[in-house]
Amino acid sequence: MIRLAEDLYLIEGDNQARFPFCNAFLITGRETVLIDTGIGERRLMQLDQDHRIDRVIISHSHPDHIAGCHLLKDRHLMLPAETGPEVHDLLELGTRFTGTPENGKKWAAFVKKYLNIEPLRTPDVRYGNGDILDFGSARLEAIRVPGHLDDHYCFFDHESRTLLSTDVDFSSFGPWYGNPECAIDPFINGIQNVMAFPYDQVCSSHKPPLGKTAAKEAFDRFLGMFDTHRRMILDLCDPPATLEQMLSISPFYNNKLKDTFVQNVFEKNMISKNLELLVKDGRVTKTDGVFQKVA
């Protein structure tokens, strides 16, 4: 546990919070609240034994953030307003995250086998953009940051001026937008929105806490990765190439994922979203499925 402020703690996820784990945030005081449950099952059970969690808040429905939630299924559950009914069925959730029922079936089998993910139950209450979640010593403003996922939220604690940036995570990989519903421009706008909050420290779901100055630098680097990604895909269009040819090169994952199905689905989405914007900006042309950089 890393103390961030009075009654507010970061709980580091297993394997230094690298996927398929994430950090969680614990609020103590008049009730005990846990934001996200993907710290690892043994760590989660120990945390509950030590503190008895009353309420669970899920920041968004990605598997590394909902893993372990079934272990606390009898606690008060809060989900984002935008989280749809597909979270109650892994096949439907897989279809949402991969784009087709066939791929959704493979995704569901993968997360069930390797991540021990269970469907979420119906929430007790939902929260939305701008809502203040008042827990006494912590007063969290819910900030929707779509682009990473439609139901992706960050939180700003007005008492301690702590920004919980969740999957605006400052990883060296850069922003992740590999699901069909992801979108680059809304993600950029959302990041710029959370940057405007008067934070003194920032804590993400996959990295250690950062002070004000270091966080500003990390935000700038993270935003800069969108341009890095765009240039990377632009370079793959010279000489002209098809989407499948770019996919075989694997510019994002560098063919390092053991599960090629997961890699190909997510990488294809990320390449395609950059190509769409490059074509829209007139920097790339598309003819019969072939993308070519404009001289």
The Cα–Cα gap between 149 and 57 comes to 16
* Whether 77 and 181 share a structural domain: yes
Please indicate, yes or no, whether residues 169 and 34 belong to a single structural domain of this protein: yes
Question: Closest Cα to residue 151, out of 169, 126, 176?
Answer: 126
What is the structure's pLDDT at 29? 86
**Residue 67 or residue 114, greater confidence:** 67
Q: Which of 197, 226, 255 corresponds to the end of one domain? A: 226
pLDDT at 113: 85
Q: Are residues 190 and 261 in the same domain?
A: no
Predicted confidence (pLDDT) at residue 102 exceeds the cutoff of 90? yes
pLDDT of 197 strictly over 90: yes
Tell me: do 140 and 43 sit in the same domain. yes
**Confidence at residue 128, expressed as pLDDT on a 0 to 100 scale:** 98
Q: Which amino acid, residue 60?
A: H
The pLDDT of residue 146: 97
| Residues belonging to the chain | 295
Beta strands in 28-158 (DSSP E): 33-35, 55-57, 76-80, 125-127, 132-134, 139-144, 153-157
Helix or strand or coil: residue 149?
Answer: coil
Supply the pLDDT for residue 25.
Answer: 98
Whether residues 151 and 244 share a domain: the answer is: no
Q: Is pLDDT at 266 greater than 90 in this prediction?
A: yes
- Say if pTM beats, i.e. exceeds, 0.75: yes
Whether the predicted pLDDT of 116 surpasses 90: no
Domain range spanning residue 203?
2-83+123-226
Mean pLDDT of 65-81: 97
Whether residue 284 is found in the same domain as residue 154 = no
So what's the pLDDT on residue 114? 85
Same domain assignment for residues 222 and 245: no
